[in-house]
Homo-oligomer: A and B are copies of this chain.
Amino acid sequence: MVTLGSEVVSGDRRVTVIAGGVGAAKFLRGLLYFHPNDSVTALVNVADDFHLHGLSISPDLDTVTYTLGGLVNPETGWGRAEETWRVRQELARLGGETWFNLGDLDLALHLYRTQRLSNGATLTEVTKEISTKLGIEARLLPASDQQIRTQLKVQDQGWVDFQNYFVAQQHDVAIEALRFEGIEQALPGPEVITSLREADIIIIAPSNPFVSVMPVLEITGISETVKERKDDVIAVSPIVGGAALKGPASRMLQELGFESSVVGIASLYRELAGALVIDHLDSGLSSKVESEGLRPVITDTIMSDPKRAAALAKAVLEEI
């Protein structure tokens, strides 16, 4: 990766990654295998955050944190490895709400975060404390310290909260629209805009464009800053062969009127990114991606193990 003698040494470049949950976490872990960790910033979506049992839960931040801290459940890509369910079992016995799985180890993080927030710490500060404790050297920044809540208009149900749609209903329902409650009032986290301005490369991770990337970009000032940096912005498609590897991205594209392919992704990111990384499987669509104004970059994008994630991250850095 390090091209000695060239003007820019890849190994030193500052990279900012706009991130959702599992896909972004895998990509980041791949990137951190070879890139100096203190040159990497993740701007993490907070619009999935919610309160349950009085606790402040930040699913995307947690997934990124657990993955980069080496604690993630390798089977699921989220939650903790070697998790136990003692509290949940007892909560079920009491007739409590158990639709959102809270493991014992996972709970400890929510208790910590909630206590620190109630002490007056910001989400940015708490995230930093946890990262430090877990030995994560990359900088994790919540996109905002304010509350933003993704809601989806579900057929025959009206507006529902994200976790209801995603977890309770297993995203197995058709949506008609989405909105981000509170986003007009939300400010970017204190280091967010600077991290975008100072980055040598901005990567939009292979996350759901609607519910992971958009609620970061639509925070005041963020998409404007990204657009100014368009030539240094590269997106990685979360859609491979017309399907999402995880989650509802593919059907959301359809339901919201986009082509359910890398071309749909390209049309969403046309004003934001200079290039779109697509899988070999989708190489036949590269000219269509180009028509949307993005330079197609063809590589293996399926992060079936950490090594492949690292290879993908390397390929992305080499392209910009």
Q: Which residues on A are within 8 Å of B, measured CB to CB? A: 51-56, 84, 86-91, 93-97, 102, 104-105, 107-112, 114-115, 117-118, 129-130, 133
Question: Are the C-beta atoms of B115 and A97 separated by less than 8 Å?
Answer: yes
Q: How far is the CA of A185 from the CA of B107 in the complex (A)?
A: 35
Q: How far is the CA of A152 from the CA of B159 in the complex (A)?
A: 48
Question: Are the C-beta atoms of B94 and A109 separated by less than 8 Å?
Answer: yes
Nearest first, the 3 closest Cβ-Cβ pairs linking A and B are A90-B108, A54-B114, A53-B111
A167 to chain B, nearest CB (A): 15
Q: How far is the CA of A95 from the CA of B125 in the complex (A)?
A: 14
Supposing A84-B86, A118-B51 touch, asked if A108 and B91 sit within 8 A by C-beta, the answer is: yes
Question: Are the C-beta atoms of A115 and B53 separated by less than 8 Å?
Answer: yes
Question: Are the C-beta atoms of B118 and A104 separated by less than 8 Å?
Answer: no
- A–B Cβ pairs within 8 angstroms, 6 of them: A53-B118, A55-B55, A90-B105, A94-B108, A102-B111, A104-B104
Number of copies: 2
A44 to chain B, nearest CB (A): 18
Question: Are the C-beta atoms of B55 and A53 separated by less than 8 Å?
Answer: yes
Question: Are the C-beta atoms of B84 and A96 separated by less than 8 Å?
Answer: no
Most buried by B among A51, A87, A89, A110: A87
Q: How far is the CA of A97 from the CA of B130 in the complex (A)?
A: 14
Question: Are the C-beta atoms of B118 and A95 separated by less than 8 Å?
Answer: no
Question: Are the C-beta atoms of A95 and B52 separated by less than 8 Å?
Answer: no
A131 to chain B, nearest CB (A): 11
- Besides the contacts A53-B111, A90-B109, what 15 more A-B pairs have beta carbons closer than 8 Å? A51-B118, A52-B115, A53-B112, A53-B115, A53-B118, A54-B54, A54-B115, A55-B55, A87-B87, A89-B108, A90-B108, A91-B108, A91-B112, A93-B108, A96-B112
Q: How far is the CA of A129 from the CA of B94 in the complex (A)?
A: 9
Question: Are the C-beta atoms of A54 and B52 separated by less than 8 Å?
Answer: no
A226 to chain B, nearest CB (A): 33
A73 to chain B, nearest CB (A): 14
Q: How far is the CA of A27 from the CA of B26 in the complex (A)?
A: 57
A236 to chain B, nearest CB (A): 31
Question: Are the C-beta atoms of A96 and B118 separated by less than 8 Å?
Answer: no
**Which residues of chain B are within 8 angstroms of A95 by Cβ–Cβ distance?**
112, 129, 133
A104 to chain B, nearest CB (A): 4
A147 to chain B, nearest CB (A): 15
A213 to chain B, nearest CB (A): 29
- Pick from B86, B97, B115: contact of A86, CB under 8 Å: B86
Q: How far is the CA of A110 from the CA of B112 in the complex (A)?
A: 15
**Which residues of chain B are within 8 angstroms of A107 by Cβ–Cβ distance?**
87, 90, 107
Question: Are the C-beta atoms of A91 and B111 separated by less than 8 Å?
Answer: yes
**Which residues of chain B are within 8 angstroms of A117 by Cβ–Cβ distance?**
54
Closest to A56 in B: B54
Question: Are the C-beta atoms of A104 and B130 separated by less than 8 Å?
Answer: no
**Which residues of chain B are within 8 angstroms of A114 by Cβ–Cβ distance?**
53-54
Closest to A90 in B: B108
Closest to A134 in B: B94
